[in-house]
Amino acid sequence: MKNIATLTLSVAFLFSCTNNSKSTTEKDSTINDSIAKETEAANTEYKPAFDGQTRANYIKTKSAYEVLVVNESLGLPWAIVNLPDGKLLMTEKSGYMMIVDLQKPYEIKKVTGLPKVNQYNQGGLLDVILDPNFDSNRTIYWTFSEPATDGSKNDQTSIAKGKLSLDETKVENVQIIYRTFPSHDSGLHYGSRLVFDKEGYLYASFGERSDDEMRKYAQDLKSPLGKIIKITTDGKAAPGNPFMDNKDALPEIYSLGHRSPQSLAFNDKGELWEVEHGPRGGDELNLIQPGKNYGWPTITYGIEYAGGKISDGATKHQGLEQPNYYWDPVIAPSGAEFYTGSIEEWKGNLFVGGMIKQALVRLVIEGNKVVGEEHILLDQKDRIRDMVTGKDGHLYAVGDNGKLYRIAKK
């Protein structure tokens, strides 16, 4: 890591959290330490269903750590994942991938050969993940907003797979294995996170495409919109899925009632957690169970952007799941990662990107409840998109400012 430190110090992007210096990172933590809970006004007057469902106590990291900007020329990165050799593979929203060698972090290798994307509003090249057997098959999977071929402005969230070439410059043998429907032209709520379970099945999250006429699809079992699906690496429904025997449902559906799910992450217990955008208020953290309905748009802790109630203001309904946690005001979540790195205090904590909050959000979860929340990287004023625990034990994050951050034990 000598090259990283040298480059970063040379451009004066080194921030450290120590007992002797009032660094930017430490000041952010001090701000968090000075208040007990979120102090901004809520968008609604809704009451939580249980204690601790919202506005957890703010906490402050006690361990010393440092934040380094190791690259600031990434364009619009959306997702980040480890390669087996410790390099980082990222998507860039306009339609290509890139590889960053952490020994030479300013030498970006561009990866091409991907299908055309519709880079419109929230659309573009989105998530990426490696096949569990990448070492032997070099296969990667990604999601993107696929433009219509009928001349319309419609697009859809699609999942593709292909092989990363040996020289890491292109993707070969590209196949599209799954497409959402119906297509739409809102440019919003693609959802689009990917994660593999230990059995090698692929989970994908899809938004309901936002517009009023599209919301109904989150409750429609004949459409993948507003759902989390569970499929094989060929795009077929995984065996044992909860709606497999329901002739009126898509067999790939795993859960429903989602608005714009931006995160999927397994913890060390094998539990699947999801974070999604609420409307004005009501961003949610959910522990996902097969076959469960998470309520959108029938229930929500948010309101319309114009201020009106959604579904007559219902926040609970029989048969619909309550979020484990919600934010009001929202953080506008993006990617999420259960930390497995070298800072002992953080192990098992869930990190979530915050775009409106312009923060890396740390959540401490105990007994499926959020008991502490911390906002990191506030000084960067960056919309944090995604993060990953690197092979070296450090936490890496990317944001809309085109920067790659390394957060390391000091």
- 386 touches 39 (CB < 8 A): no
**Residue 18 within a domain:** no
Q: Judging by DSSP bridges, how do beta strands 88-92 and 253-256 pair with one another?
A: unpaired
Q: Judging by DSSP bridges, how do beta strands 125-130 and 139-147 pair with one another?
A: antiparallel
As given in the structure block, the two tokens for residue 222 are 């004949």
Per the listing, tokens 């959910």 go with 286
**Residue 12 within a domain:** no
Strand, coil or helix: what is 290?
Answer: coil
**Residue 217 within a domain:** yes
Task: State how far the Cα of 198 lies from the Cα of 207, in Å rounded to an integer.
Answer: 25
**Residue 99 within a domain:** no
Number of domains in the chain: 1
**Residue 363 within a domain:** no
For the chain, residues with pLDDT lower than 50 are: 1-34
Distances (CA, A) of 257 to 119, 246, 260, 393: 26, 17, 10, 36
Q: What is the pTM of this model?
A: 0.92
Residue 26 burial by Cβ neighbours in a 10 Å radius (0-12, 13-18, 19+): buried
Cis peptide before 290 (omega within 30 of 0): no
Q: Give the CATH number for residue 295.
A: 2.120.10.30
- Give the max Cα distance, the chain: 65
Provide the pLDDT for residue 263: 96
- 187 touches 147 (CB < 8 A): no
**Residue 284 within a domain:** yes
Instruction: Report, as residue numbers or ranges, the catalytic residues.
Output: 189
Report pLDDT digits (tens) over 11-69.
Answer: 333 433 433 333 334 444 444 444 567 888 999 999 999 999 999 999 999 999 999 99
Domain boundaries, position 205:
112-333
**Residue 259 within a domain:** yes
